[in-house]
Structure 1
């Protein structure tokens, strides 16, 4: 059976703002945590950091059949330098699964950094680093990369690139020691789990010049970046996988006030333009889909005492997002060059975005034909702003409903793909106490449906998939000015990802879900960009369930020490409500 359905990967599951003198910045600052937790027991050995998001049951637990070391490098002063590169040689032995394994260690003082791994301009992983301690920290990330098998077996140039811009001087002494390995497995120990045939071709939608990394650096809402490409004449399916992270004045975009608030109060911060962002994609200048990204908090974000040793959702393995572009093959299958564009609605500097275009080819024919049947998109946004001096309430509501369909005639038959994407977005940013206290509440809901059918009326369903995703976040900050240019910040955070997927392919029916939540609170004494002291607690609650099993893990942390870590697993048909 052809790979009619690729899982939508609802979760493929990662600067220093100036402090205003009149009152604390209206944004949560990107801060440097102490070299050791103020209230944690002193330790002399390195501490392991973790993101307990992914259960072992989704990745192979047995040792790999063989491994290929890709890169080993120490990232010291790498600011404004191009990515570090290493040659890649494809495996000579057969394999059926591949897992990318990143391991990092660091000691000293250092801010968190963004990083990415590419193979021939195709991004494999977007990640961020932990803020280290004097005694050192270490962590690892494992990510399934089997769907890049065509690239792993036949790379055009065979170059691995890793971008990690770091600054090392007398103050910031942390050097990130990085090792990257590919682990290969001969068979899938979970063969009954839903999978699909990997793409036959992967086209990078990224910068051609690697001087500042292969990602597009997007600075404002009108900054749309493009890649020219053409596809083989026997293409029958196309999917775009998007990598995205937000930085600088937009690192905390979901907390940004409007520009009017900044102007009316004569503030010097650049972190404005409201609290709505949407990453959009165009094909030959026409809208082809969009996503509202999950608000990933890096380890120096909001209250860095929360993120030791458990990091925020997605910080070590930033979510990727997919758009089904098969309905557009009627435009793309003309043997001409075409253009994919990416941009950020209302974005300000800066966003790092690139994408991989996954292409499936008809193995039984050199030529397919296609036609776009329907392109419909409706969007709505309302903004209600009210402010009096440094107090203000800013409410944004947005929605988008898009529907695309198109048929492709291949050796598998004449099949029509229907794609629907509905997004509902709500944001509230509220300043009180003369701007010293801030309440942020944001929620995004997205429903995606994908149906492939045959027949003139499209009523003969070959396969279909539905994805329901929701990711709320709430941030509460209360600020009390102190002596000697210090202030005390009392903070709380609640954020989550709820993701449910269900569908059928042929006679197979499947379903799975993810519930991933974090609750955190604490206080910190801050001077300039450094946390002098404080106390914090974090609770991570993760659950994954499918037709075969359910896995849950609850981790509790107090002042940098894991106080409990409980895992439960069970078998059987489990569906979350």
Structure 2
């Protein structure tokens, strides 16, 4: 792996690049470099010090996380960047990884699926928003559950390095970070809640001198909830003989409650892991956010008059779906199927020592979600159900306001959120073919007097069409799929950092725009009698990112695990190559999976994921 480096002023922009020139003449058995198309990481030129946090092989690692001890380096730093490098060879599923410092989750990621000859990837991540944790000694708990046996043979060999820097900037990281988690760090265990089996709640006493507070939520669906965005209405789960479809609708909302009162809501991005839908879609270009599952933020500053009273308050994270009666009547639920992996944390910016924050509020306007849905079942000539058409539309809003009294005076604080959601789904061919088209549009805004306002808008469109074909007198099957998806986010201001208006906005990344789009087609086939599973696919992705001081774009295409086009520009420096002359392999071998493993529906059989 090499890096393209561009220097602007006192900042280096680092972007990982595949060394494709060398690969053109390398044998087919070469290690495959996987990557997530992402904006580069900004890094000051003068790195003060580095520290290797982990060198570990995750093999039979369910219930056995990596354990280590972090001691702050002997250098003055206000910025932290991670370099995470992984190699793996053999057969294996994609796996979910969570990194904690004591009880606090700081990073969530997933893995690429390995090849028999090996894969590798490097991901760079800015960790400066959790700077307060790196100022104190910590217990490192890195949980990446994996299984090694006669069938699944690939461990994940990892190295994690932290780089520490000093940067002159008025952006202030939080003074204190408090986890909302299962709090198992003291016994060297991971601290995620598994919802709905567990109730994701902590009773916490916050400091009384709080100037601002932001809550972050990290949440993703697993098992029956991995493909939540393609689920059906609960009234339609038994539509087709021989299979039970996953229900609670294709809509999910993650909620934050404080003392039982709604304090904020997030709408999860539909992450697809590298074994999802059809594995050939994600080699070597992994899905959007697959290596870095982004957390969502909620400004809870309007709750400070309540939270700074010196008492304990209950923080709870819930995942909601939709329950319907089959007659068009619906409501948000307080639970979903198993399971969601969730944690939270509270970012706190402190006021003067000894001061007690007070005020009036919060005043909450949270009307019931507006839900419109319907479904229709079509029958074949023999009377069996052959088609299912359904649609779901949701409109949701939340407005919270308060008056806050701090040492610097009295000011107003508001937090507002809006979302419009639509999903159109279709099953045909007696449930073997599925088309799902979904779009989530939303916005969030925080306005706190004396601080720079924050706003963000987003759009998450996704379309997936899949076809399952089985063969008489054998267990063989073929899965074909087409996907088209994107993520567009525009933000202004800072949510994870404090920015006083007195500083102005010069030389600050106060505005940013990210737009990325991914499409592809792939085929997977399984021949159990030959212990063989293979496939092929093509994926293309375009990404454009720019903020106040930087710009980046990349357009890349992969055909059958070979990069055939790659055009990348960073800070005006272009790297453009067409690799159409490279002969792509006809097919790749994959770990044997069932249709249910990949798309969340269909018969259960041998090879189901562990």
Band the TM-score falls in, shorter-chain normalisation: 0.7 to 0.9
Distance of aligned partners of 1:84 and 1:548 in 2 relative to their CA distance in 1, 3 Å threshold: closer
Residue 494, structure 1, aligned to residue 494, structure 2: no
Contact 2:423–2:437 (8 Å) recurs in 1: yes
Bigger relative contact order, structure 1 or 2, given CA contacts below 8 A and separation 6+? Answer: 1
**Could you say if the C-alpha distance between residues 267 and 64 of structure 1 is closer, same or farther in structure 2, counting changes exceeding 3 Å?**
farther
The residue number in structure 1 matching 2:194 is: 217
SS at 1:393 equivalent? strand
* Secondary structure, aligned partner of 1:131: coil
1:140 corresponds in structure 2 to: 122
Summarize the Cα distance change of 1:77–1:408 in structure 2 as closer, same or farther, 3 Å threshold: same
Q: Which moved more, 1:195-204 or 1:352-361?
A: 195-204
Q: Tell me, which stretches of 5 or more residues in structure 1 are unaligned?
A: 1-39, 455-461, 572-577
Structure 2 residue aligned with 1:3: none
Within-5 A mapping of 1:318-337? 318-337=293-312
Cα drift, residue 524 of structure 1: 2.4
Q: Which residue is equivalent to 2:34?
A: 49
The whole-number CA distance in structure 1 between the counterparts of 2:128 and 2:359 is 28
Aligned-partner Cα distance in 2 for 1:226–1:447: 26
CA distance in 2, matches of 1:398, 1:376: 17
Q: In the TM superposition, what is the alpha-carbon distance from 1:371 to its structure 2 partner?
A: 2.4
Pick one of 121, 132, 138 that aligns with 2:103. Answer: 121
1:396 aligns with 2:376: no
**1:29-84 deviation digits (Å, cap 9, x = unpaired):** xxxxxxxxxxx9963332211112122xx4217473211111221111122x1422
Q: 2:318 is matched with which residue: 319, 343, 351?
A: 343
TM-score by length of 1: 0.84
Is this contact kept in 1: 2:238–2:244, CA < 8 A?
no
CA distance, structure 2, for counterparts of residue 360 and residue 83 of structure 1? 32
| Structure 2 counterpart SS, 1:409 | strand
Check whether the contact 1:373–1:405 (CA below 8 A) recurs between aligned residues: yes
Asked whether the 8 Å contact 1:333–1:370 carries over to 2, the reply is no
- Residues 24-35 of structure 1 correspond to what in structure 2 (within 5 A)? none
Cα distance in 1 between the residues matched to 2:199 and 2:365: 21
**Cα separation, partners in 2 of 1:528 and 1:164, compared to 1, 3 Å:** farther
Confirm or deny that 1:163 pairs with 2:116.
Answer: no
SS of 1:390 mapped into structure 2: strand
Residue number in structure 2 paired with 1:28: none
Partner SS for 2:338? strand
Alignment partner of 2:250: what SS?
A: coil
Cα RMSD of the aligned pairs, angstroms, is 2.3
Is residue 362 from structure 1 mapped to residue 351 from structure 2 by the alignment? yes
Following superposition, the deviation at residue 546 of structure 1 comes to 1.8
What residue number does 1:19 align with?
none
Q: Deviations over 1:294-342 (max 9, x none)?
A: 0010000001011111100000001110000000011111111111000
Look up the SS of the partner of 1:562 in the other structure: strand
2:515 is aligned with 1:515: yes
Match of 1:169, SS?
coil
Q: What's the counterpart of residue 237 of structure 2? A: 262
Counterpart in the other structure of 1:564: 565
Distance 1:136 1:299 in 2: 15
State the Cα distance separating 1:534 from its structure 2 match: 2.9
Distance 2:271 2:522 in 1: 19
Structure 1 residue 413, shift from structure 2 partner = 2.0
- 1:109-508 to 2 correspondence within 5 Å? 109-155=91-137, 158-187=138-167, 196-209=171-184, 213-219=190-196, 224-269=199-244, 271-346=246-321, 347-363=336-352, 365-378=354-367, 379-388=369-378, 389-453=385-449, 462-482=451-471, 484-503=474-493, 505-506=501-502, 507-508=504-505
Alignment partner, residue 543 of structure 2: 542
Give the whole-Å Cα distance in 1 for the aligned partners of 2:30 and 2:536.
22
User: How far apart, CA to CA, are the structure 2 residues paired with 1:42 and 1:533?
Assistant: 20
Residues 52 and 393 (structure 1), Cα distance of their counterparts in 2 relative to 1, 3 Å cut = same
Q: Tell me if 1:65 matches 2:48.
A: yes
Cα distance in 1, alignment partners of residues 519 and 226 from structure 2: 20
- CA shift digits 1:15-35 (9 cap, x unpaired): xxxxxxxxxxxxxxxxxxxxx
Judging changes above 3 Å, is the alpha-carbon distance between structure 1 residues 479 and 270 closer, same or farther for their aligned structure 2 residues? closer
Q: Deviations over 1:486-531 (max 9, x none)?
A: 2222211011111112359454384220001111112222346987
Distance of aligned partners of 1:503 and 1:201 in 2 relative to their CA distance in 1, 3 Å threshold: closer
The separation in 2 between residues aligned to 1:275 and 1:367, in whole angstroms, is 44
Q: Paired residues, what number?
A: 514
Q: Return the TM-score normalized by structure 2.
A: 0.80
C-alpha distance after superposition, 1:424-444 (max 9, x if no partner): 111111112222221101111
Partner Cα distance (2:97, 2:429) in 1: 38
State the match for 1:18 in structure 2: none
Q: Per the alignment, in what secondary structure is the counterpart of residue 453 of structure 2?
A: strand
Spell out, residue by residue over 1:90-114, the C-alpha distance to the aligned partner (whole angstroms, 9 max, x if none): 1221112101222211111001100
Range moving further from structure 2, 256-265 or 235-244: 256-265
Any gaps of 5 or more consecutive residues in structure 2?
1-24, 322-335, 379-384, 495-500, 573-610
Label 1:252 to 1:570 Cα distance change in 2 as closer, same or farther (>3 A).
same
Q: CA deviation at 1:262?
A: 2.7
Segment of structure 1 superposing worse, 356-365 or 112-121: 356-365
Please tell me whether the aligned partners of residues 249 and 270 of structure 1 are also in contact (alpha carbons under 8 angstroms). Answer: no
How far apart are the structure 1 equivalents of 2:493 and 2:349? 21
